[in-house]
């Protein structure tokens, strides 16, 4: 039977958004992140990270550098008893400078590419799944794939929540990922 997943945005949702993170030393995990992932795992969800990383197209970061950052992040999560099933990233941006990433694509959120790939790789039932993020593009992603959308007020979220996003409404707007995890468990 396919599984339900919680798709997590990375910057501004799991960790502070420092803008084009490209150094392991600049990872600032929010204090509730590991416990939130652990709770979701315990409730039967697989947790998948989906992150736009135009820093690669812009030449601020290599794919190898990003892999190192995700390995470090994953060490911290695993040490705390949490499990992220997979990390998907979009390295593209149409205004980038680094070939072959300087292009439009089907994976930059709110496009569905990363989630569709994960659903196929990991046998995920998207109708029972959730997307948590701090921007309307994350809500748009949830809508594009038929998942439930949770906007958090960390990162850009407090400002985003004040903006009207044309045609988009979140299913919940909550202060942080810890509260989002609780809400998801209660509403699944
Ligand atoms: Mg974000
Ligand atoms: Zn892409």
What pLDDT digit, counting tens, does each position of 19-74 carry? 999 999 999 999 999 999 999 999 999 999 999 999 999 999 999 999 999 999 99
Distance CA 182, CA 36 (A): 8
Q: Are 89 and 52 in contact (CB under 8 A)?
A: yes
Question: For residue 89, how far is its CA from the centre of ligand 2 (angstroms)?
Answer: 7
Question: For residue 96, how far is its CA from the centre of ligand 2 (angstroms)?
Answer: 11
Name the residue among 135, 170, 169 with its Cα closest to residue 154.
135
Active-site residue flag, 9: yes
Confidence of residue 16 (pLDDT cuts 50, 70, 90): very high
Question: For residue 147, how far is its CA from the centre of ligand 2 (angstroms)?
Answer: 20
Which conformational region is residue 155 in: left (phi greater than 0), alpha (psi within -120 to 50 degrees), or beta? left
């Amino acid at each position: 039977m396919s599984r339900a997943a919680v798709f997590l945005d990375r910057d501004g949702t799991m960790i502070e958004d420092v803008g084009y993170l490209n150094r392991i030393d600049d990872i600032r995990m929010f204090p509730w992140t590991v416990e939130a992932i652990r709770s979701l795992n315990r409730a039967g969800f697989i947790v998948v990270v989906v992150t736009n990383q135009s820093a690669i197209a812009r030449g601020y970061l290599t794919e190898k550098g990003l892999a190192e950052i995700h390995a470090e992040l994953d060490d911290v999560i695993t040490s705390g008893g949490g499990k992220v099933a997979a990390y998907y990233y979009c390295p593209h941006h149409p205004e980038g400078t680094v070939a072959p990433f300087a292009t439009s694509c089907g994976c930059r959120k709110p496009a569905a590419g990363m989630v569709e790939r994960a659903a196929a790789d990991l046998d995920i039932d998207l109708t029972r799944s959730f997307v948590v993020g701090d921007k309307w593009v994350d809500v748009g992603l949830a809508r594009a794939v038929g998942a439930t959308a949770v906007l958090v007020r960390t990162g850009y979220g407090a400002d985003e929540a004040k903006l009207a996003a044309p045609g988009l409404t979140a299913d919940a707007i909550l202060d942080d990922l810890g509260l989002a995890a609780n809400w998801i468990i209660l509403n699944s």
